[in-house]
Amino acid sequence: MKKRVAILISGRGSNMTALIESAKAVDYPAEIVLVVSNRPDAPGLARARALGVATAVVDHTAFADEREAFERALDDELRNNRIDLVCLAGFMRLLTPWFVARWSGRMLNIHPSLLPQFKGLHTHRRALEAGVKRHGATVHFVEPEMDSGPIVAQGSLAVEDGDTEQTLAARVLELEHQIYPRALRAVAEGRTKF
Ligand code: GRF
């Protein structure tokens, strides 16, 4: 039985696309059955539909400052679709300990740095400023603290002379598209558990 996976997005959804395409392989242990966005205008929604995946919007602005009410609506959407695993892919909302606990060990995130380095935003700029020789991306289980949690997969590359924030971001994004499908495969096969 393939694991039923939902991907949560807020934007363009290139990692989402990589996951959907990888999951088309007959021997892939997971199927992407739902894409949920907290933003009705996320370009990734149309991409998901074009790839034949059902979409839903849970608009956080409809819940004013009620973060938990937003998350209850999100959780209902996931449970109604009998979701086994959740992949955050450019999902730009911080999640409360309640939601994280509910999906503990069943929710992954991808972050564009070699964690624990450069948690938070603007990771490529900060990597250049710090002068690191290697940079990359990390897939990890989600814990309440942002960009923390057991690491499932990392991909790294050399920072080159003349790299800009944009060139580095583009190369790291390609790496992201390779490691996220591999990480989801490992978790769906039960080879990595927390
Ligand atoms: C990626 O860089 C991901 O690592 C970060 O947000 C970005 C999302 O890009 N969490 P996309 O929507 O998958 O193209």
Catalytic residue among 111, 124, 140, 177: 111
* pLDDT score, position 194: 62
Residue type, 115: L
* pLDDT score, position 64: 82
Distance CA 183, CA 139 (A): 7
* pLDDT score, position 138: 98
**Pocket of ligand 1 contains residue 15 by CB under 6 Å:** yes
Distance CA 115, CA 183 (A): 15
- Between CA 20 and CA 177, with CA 185 as vertex, the angle to 5 degrees is 50
Q: Which atom of ligand 1 is nearest to the CA of 18?
A: 13
Give pLDDT tens digits along the chain (194 positions): 999 999 999 999 999 999 999 999 999 999 999 999 999 999 999 999 999 999 999 999 999 878 999 999 999 999 999 999 999 999 999 999 999 999 999 999 999 999 999 999 999 999 999 999 999 999 999 999 999 999 999 999 999 999 999 999 999 999 999 999 999 999 999 998 66
Distance CA 57, CA 107 (A): 19
48, 55 contact by CB (below 8 A): yes
177 is catalytic: no
Q: Which atom of ligand 1 is nearest to the CA of 172?
A: 2
The three-state secondary structure class of 141 is strand
Q: Which pTM value belongs to this model?
A: 0.97
The three-state secondary structure class of 194 is coil
In the reported structure, the alpha carbon of residue 8 is separated from the centroid of ligand 1 by a whole-number distance in angstroms of 11
Distance CA 180, CA 52 (A): 20
